[in-house]
Amino acid sequence: MNDKIGNILSYLAEKVAHLSLTKALKLLYIIDETAVRETGVQLTWLEYKVWKNGPVPDELFQELRHNKKISIDNRIISLDEYIAVEQRESIFPENQVETYLFPRKEFDFSILNDYEIELVERIIQQYGSFSARELVDILHRENTLWHKIVEENNLSVSFELYKATSNYTIDFTKLIENDEILKMAAQASYEALQFQESLLENSTLA
């Protein structure tokens, strides 16, 4: 899975000029949400936390912003071979240092299928020219998954008074709960992912 995430991030960094971490994570979220709406399945299977500036895959953020490696099933996942990072003064959020992403290797088209490649390119065309602030505003709109969780749990007060993070998680199944075909696709894909991970774990232990 890190090959897919690394390739997508590398491709985004290649195609989108001055790609900040904030903007990259918003584009990644839009890719995943769009994929769920269309197929029932995320591209990345990342878990997105509900933070002040929108949905954020916490572990990925920690690796790219603070160089903390992702651990999945006790396996350390590194994106170093795909992405280089550089700290610069940011435009948004203001008066902060932002992480900017740069590709380290060429995009491997064999990692993604035709639909996934088309989707990534489509999101770049639609949203690549938007600023990080504009993408945050889009994901904050009324009735988005982020907005519903913030409203249901009164997180806006917490974000304003205390901290910019929360432990609440985006639930993509809300997008497909009324579509039996997409629900079956999601379940089949999840079971296949679990099977692949069990095979990998067993081969590591052998």
With 90 as the cut, is the pLDDT of residue 138 above it?
Answer: yes
Domain encompassing residue 199: 2-205
**CB–CB of 176/182 below 8 Å?**
yes
Predicted confidence band of residue 201 (pLDDT cuts 50, 70, 90): low
- For CA atoms 99, 70, 81, 7, the dihedral sign is negative
pTM: 0.90
Based on the structure, what is the number of domains in the chain? Answer: 1
pLDDT score, position 3: 86
pLDDT score, position 190: 87
pLDDT tens-place string over residues 43-87: 999 999 999 999 999 999 998 987 766 555 455 567 888 999 998
pLDDT score, position 15: 96
Backbone dihedral angles phi then psi of residue 200, each to the nearest 5 degrees: -65, -40
What mean pLDDT is predicted for residues 129-136? 95
Predicted confidence band of residue 17 (pLDDT cuts 50, 70, 90): very high
pLDDT score, position 2: 78
pLDDT score, position 74: 53
